[in-house]
Structure 1
Amino acid sequence: LVIATPCPLLIAIPVAIIGSISLSAKRGIIIKNPSVLEQIDDCTVMILDKTGTLTYGRPRLTEIKYFNGFSREDALKYAASLEHYSRHPLAGAIIEAAQKARLAFSNVNEISEPAGQGLKGTVNGHEVMITSRRKLIAQGQQEALRGIPESGGLECLVTVDGKIAALLRFHDEPRQEGKFFIDHLNPRHNFKKVMIVSGDRESEVKYLAEQVGISEIHAGKSPEEKVEIVREETKHAKTIYLGDGINDAPALATATVGIAFGQNSDITSEAAGAVVMESFLGKVDELMHIGRRMRAIALQSAVGGMAVSVLGMIAAALGFLPPVAGAITQEIIDVFAVLNALRAAVPPKDLTDFEERS
């Protein structure tokens, strides 16, 4: 009975978890929910946001088309004044363009940004809205959009007092490491399905998907629709959702493992189980390897320690191990189990198979 204690099981696993959380923090990954480390290696479906995740999230304003008697300066001034209060990835590009044009910001009142609906506000007494083509079509403005050609890139529309004032077009570069990250998910981590779920237009999402090698896309999705897609996928397999925006927060909370990418939003970080502080896909790979390594070390310590304890029990039952020697042996087993578990906190030589080839 002296040697038949489950100490390796009770002590080694928590030590391995704490060690892996510590290692993750050193690598710029904050673990908010320890179950992330346990479950991440079992996930076989990767769901990714587009803007800011597979792209750098630093779009540049490349073209402005203006309509209904509005000038380029007027349209840009209205848009920049309103976007000054938004954290959307396109906001920075609009503000930067206005600053380069030396345009002064106007006073804005009654600002609102309903999820997936665009940005609204009153600028100098005019009702201004920045939204997508799809939302305007849903509002019955097909006729007003008839003469405005579509493109394959990022775009948004600015309306002033219900009239379309401008079409703004942007360009956002895909991440350099994106294609290799996607390509290595199946052979190195056994992912069976990889998909993009985005609120952007289908042409934009399809263009990026072709560049990084993803065949399944879901474009033009609201936060609620993202949640439904994630929930449906999670019914059939464990899922990882990787996103960086406020609109991704509900989906992050729904997935088996939610990973917030970067430090763009406190809301996103709060909803996720883990937060990758550096916006580099290699860090996501590191997190997956840390989780895999933690499970291996925890099992080594717990199962190995319990196996030795069982052998000790057999020896004691046969009379080869007196009580005092049994107690000492159990303490030695515990020490070795904990020392092995502490390896989880020590960075291995190769923590990832990603950076060396990115």
Structure 2
Amino acid sequence: MQQKERSDRLKTLLLGISVIGLFLGLAAHLAQRPELAAALWTAGTLPVLAALLIEILRCLARGEVGLDIVAALSMSAALLFGETLAAAIVAVMYSGGTFLEGFAEGRARREMRDLLSRVPRTASRYGKGGLEEIPLKRIAPGDRLLIRQGDVVPVDGQIASAVAFVDTSALTGESMPVRLSQGDEALSGSTNAGEAFDLIAERDASRSTYAGIVRLVEEAQRSKAPMSRLADRWSLGFLAITVALALAAWWLSGDPIRAVAVLVVATPCPLILAVPVALVAGLSRAAHFGVLVKGAGPLEAMARIRTLILDKTGTLTDGRPQIVSIESRNGMAQDEILRFAASLDQASKHPVAQALVAAAKARGLSLAMPLRVTEHAGEGLSGSIEGHDVTVGGDGFVANHASDVATRPDVAPGSVTVAVAVDGRMVGNLVMSDPLRDDAAEMLRTLRSQGIDRILLATGDREDVARHIARGLGLDGIHAGLTPEGKVQLVQVESRNGPVMMVGDGVNDAPALAACNVGVAMGARGAAASAEAADVVLLVDLVERIAIGIAVARGARTIALQSVVAGIGLSVLGMIAAATGYLLPVQGALVQEAIDIVVILNALRALGISPQLASVSSNAK
């Protein structure tokens, strides 16, 4: 991060030096001080040229050849043959282009600090004198730890209490909290969603599940192939044409100034400037729709995506338990069943209880004050509502408080059934699940129409749950029960067939998001880890914006290519004019400036890209 910031500051400094040198030189020239003007133009050019030569050497050491060589040749030749004004103009154009490119790349650059900050720093351990707060590195296998309500489990271990209730959605994709009994394993990175419980540590913190995910993300980011700049893909051919034409002009005319003029006109500013301008404009346009793209490279890569991998929880599904049906017993109205259950559940912090309360309030139901509430962690609650004895929870728990518990209804895989009893009589069942998003099917159809060849589901959830959710969506593959490592391996396999995009929102998705060509995080409600590891963050909780982001990316890349083709075509014409003696170096630099203006104006059209998608709403963020 610091290295990137230093690089950005250097680009800004070089642009400032070149601009100041150009205008001070022009002032000296107008004041009839040609020697001073030449010195100022040279002084404004040399720092840019020196930085450029260093960058060229670094690229050559990596086996890369870019268009920067043409810019270095034009500045060097202009200075060598006394065409200092032409050199200064080229220096301003080049430093301006690199500044814009750096701005595009650094627009939304962030580190993994949020992922690392989520890792607990301390833990409560039972010692001889009672509980003590210790750093994670001091936890040893066999230590007994206290995990309070809301705490993130610091290390992998076995449940030592009778029961524990943990939220593993960030790790496994399981949308519903999980009930664990004594002896069951709890994974680090999961969250205690119930009462406090004791944990016997099985591993130290550095070898636990969550620490392994952090390492996976870092390794994936290091191994991810760098994205080549669009401009560099044209570099070798254009460089060969430029050098050949410059040498031919010099050899045929005997005048080295013609070669200088060719090189100045050939300075690839239509590529250096137009491409980042179009992509920066695309970044701005995508952000208008709530799609934050972290730089020009990811935006360009989005335009070439052919395979899409989707996580289930929070991506295809809403990620929060919702009521899908209410089954009434003994004649009680459905809303009344929900009102009794939600009134009692106001006393619980259980995620399912909170979901019931939210559902009741959404229906406009008036909730009563719960009295004499007794909660059995992971089982249910009992208490008094408006003078009635009410029990809410699992079938077994409610059966102990009701005389006529009915048979549990058949529910879809992944659903949770909440039984409700009033005054000792079973009154109904609330069936809850994490439903498919309303816009998921339409989004997938739109992506197909945009040229996405393969759409896969990758989830840590059970296979029966995954297949139930994906039913009717026409996916090309379903991969269930995946660990974070498994998701990375899936990305690597699919990458052999072309660029891959993955969409996810949990901590378990972060390594795969970092490993693929373009990682997309559901940032509105997703885990901070996935947002940090991803290249693209959806700022609004609308999965349809994936299709919008791809449409904007393709539009921006098309406009960038148009600018490149037009700019290169005009530059070649200018090079021919310079080679035949119709353009002097300074005139060539001015012609190149005019070409730059044309292609930049065309590139700015990306600010007005309007995706022609039915799902684009007028209230786009």
TM-score, length basis structure 2: 0.42
Alpha-carbon distance between aligned partners in 2 of 1:246 and 1:257, rounded to the nearest angstrom: 17
**CA–CA distance in structure 1, aligned partners of residues 522 and 571 of structure 2:** 43
Query: Is the CA contact (8 Å cut-off) linking 1:240 and 1:256 kept in structure 2?
Result: yes
AA paired with 2:495?
Answer: T
Aligned counterpart, 1:311: 573
Q: How far apart are 1:311 and its partner, in Å?
A: 0.6
- Equivalent position to 1:59, from 313, 316, 321: 321
CA distance in 2: counterparts of 1:315 and 1:105, whole angstroms: 90
Q: Using a 3 Å threshold, how does the CA distance of structure 1 residues 4 and 226 change in structure 2: closer, same or farther?
A: closer
1:195-274 correspondence runs (5 A): 195-264=456-525, 265-274=527-536
Q: What residue is the counterpart of 2:301 in the other structure?
A: 39
Task: Name the amino acid aligned to 1:351.
Answer: P
The CA RMSD over aligned residues, in Å, is 3.6
- Aligned-residue offset at 1:207: 1.7
CA–CA separation in structure 2 for the residues paired with 1:33 and 1:62:
41
Alpha-carbon distance change, 247 to 333 in structure 1, aligned in 2, over 3 angstroms? same
In the alignment, which residue of structure 2 is the partner of 1:171? 433
* Structure number, greater radius of gyration: 2
Give the count of matched residue pairs: 293
What does residue 342 of structure 1 align with? 604
Letter in structure 1 aligned against 2:531: S
- What's the counterpart of residue 543 of structure 2? 281
- Cα separation, 2, equivalents of 1:27 and 1:304: 29
For 2:616 and 2:530, how far apart are their aligned partners in 1? Answer: 29
Structure 1 residue matching 2:312: 3-state secondary structure: coil
Cα-to-partner distance string for 1:234-272 (whole Å, 9 max, x where unaligned): 233221111122222222112211001242221111111
Query: Does the alignment pair 1:22 with 2:295?
Result: no
Give the drift of 1:213: 2.4
CA distance in 2, matches of 1:33, 1:323: 35
For 2:445 and 2:450, the matched residues in 1 are separated by 10
Distance 2:535 2:582 in 1: 49
Query: For 1:205 and 1:333, how far apart are their aligned partners in 2?
Result: 54
SS in 1 for 2:309: strand
Matched residue SS, 2:530: helix
Q: Quick one: distance in 2 between partners of 1:271 and 1:92?
A: 30
* Counterpart in the other structure of 1:135: none
Q: Higher relative contact order at CA 8 Å, sep ≥6: structure 1 or structure 2?
A: 1
- Could you say which residue in structure 1 is the equivalent of 2:556? 294
Amino acid at match of 1:296: T
Distance 1:92 1:309, change over 3 A: farther
Cα distance between partner residues in 1 of 2:555 and 2:300: 10
Q: Is the 8 A contact 2:502 2:516 kept in 1?
A: yes
Matched, 1:152 2:412: yes
Tell me by how many angstroms 1:178 deviates.
1.6
1:114-153 to 2 correspondence within 5 Å? 151-153=411-413
Are the aligned partners of 1:242 and 1:259 in contact in 2 as well (CA < 8 Å)? Answer: yes
Residue in structure 1 matched with residue 191 of structure 2 by the alignment: none
Deviation at 1:328, TM superposition (A): 2.6
Q: CA deviation at 1:332?
A: 0.7
Distance 1:33 1:170, change over 3 A: farther
Whether 1:194 aligns to 2:420 is no
Asked if the contact 1:15–1:341 (Cα under 8 Å) also holds between the matched residues in 2, the reply is yes
CA distance in 2 between partners of 1:49 and 1:206 (Å): 13
| SS of structure 2 residue aligned to 1:204 | helix
Identity %: 38
* Equivalence for 1:11: 273
Q: Which residue of 2 aligns with 1:351?
A: 611
Deviations 1:121-176 (A, max 9, x none): xxxxxxxxxxxxxxxxxxxxxxxxxxx9985332479xxxxxxxxxx963233222
1:194 positional shift: 0.9
Q: Secondary structure at the match of 1:275?
A: strand
1:285–1:171 Cα change, 3 Å: same
CA spacing shift, 1:33–1:154, aligned 2, 3 Å: farther
Cα contact 2:311–2:503 (8 A) shared by 1 = yes
Change in Cα spacing, 1:97 to 1:16, as seen in structure 2 (3 Å) is closer
The alpha-carbon deviation at position 220 of structure 1 amounts to: 2.3
For residues 313-349 of structure 1, the C-alpha deviation after alignment (integer angstroms, 9 at most, x for no partner) is 11222233345543332211111111112222x223x
| Alpha-carbon separation, structure 1, partners of 2:322 and 2:535 | 31
Partner Cα separation in structure 1 for residue 580 and residue 313 of structure 2: 66
Using the size of structure 1 for normalisation, the TM-score is 0.70
Say if 1:3 and 1:312, in contact at 8 Å, map to a contact too.
yes
Deviation at 1:97?
8.3
Whole-angstrom CA distance in 1 between matches of 2:411 and 2:323: 14
Q: CA deviation at 1:226?
A: 1.9
Q: 1:220 to 1:150 in 2, by over 3 A?
A: farther
Any conservation in 1 of the 2:415–2:434 contact (CA below 8 Å)?
Answer: no
CA 1:17–1:91 in structure 2 vs 1: closer, same or farther (change >3 Å)?
Answer: farther
Distance 2:542 2:282 in 1: 20
Q: CA–CA distance in 2 between the matches of 1:275 and 1:296?
A: 22
After superposition, the Cα gap between the structure-2 partners of 1:280 and 1:81, relative to the gap in structure 1 and judged at 3 Å, is: closer
Q: How far does residue 23 in structure 1 lie from its aligned partner after superposition?
A: 1.5
| Structure 2 unmatched ranges of 5 or more | 1-260, 327-340, 362-366, 379-407, 418-429
Contact 1:81 1:105 in 2 (8 A): no
